[in-house]
Amino acid sequence: MANLLMGTGFYFLIPTLPVFIVDVMGAGPEKVGYIIAVYTLSALIIRPLTGYLLDGYGRKWIYLGAFFLFAAMLGFYTIAITFVWLMVLRFIHGFTWGAATTSSSTIVVDVVPANRRGEGIGIYGLSFTLAMAIGPGIALVVLGDGNYNRMFLSSMAIAFAGLLLVLLVKFPAYE
């Protein structure tokens, strides 16, 4: 459920951010690709470092920190007033997404009993697929009157709800 909510918060931006960039920021449509690419690039860059940190320093605090920063940064979209600021925000936000998703998948493998690991990983994967299915639709409903701040803050609230659920997870002791 926590990953479903985090993913839903993430997928709020897929149909809405390109329109925000063009209509509100006044950037050309060609710049939308840069915004998507910089996020993906930073999420990719952080994954090997996250894996190293997870193995070296434990899972719980890295995951909680990455999840918290991911959720909190959704609120910063409300103050993104220039294209450059949005690029920097997306780059940093991509780091948090990459670290949070790498951490969560590692934790799923740690937490799910070995005899149910396939089922557990399948449900975990389904959480992101469901988020991809429902997040954009919910975002478009929330954005119905064009209030991007409400949409960004709703995305943040949904992600923080996921973070609250993570606090209920019993993490295995780090060795």
Listed residue (88, 95, 40) closest to 65, CA to CA: 95
Q: In which band, very low, low, confident or very high, does the pLDDT at 173 lie, cut at 50, 70 and 90?
A: confident
Q: Report in angstroms the alpha-carbon separations of 61 from 8, 15, 57, 88, 110.
A: 22, 32, 9, 25, 15
Q: In which band, very low, low, confident or very high, does the pLDDT at 162 lie, cut at 50, 70 and 90?
A: very high
pLDDT at residue 175 is higher than 80: no
Task: Give residue-wise pLDDT tens across range 110-160.
Answer: 989 999 999 999 999 999 999 999 999 999 999 999 999 999 999 999 999
How much of the chain exceeds pLDDT 70, in percent? 100
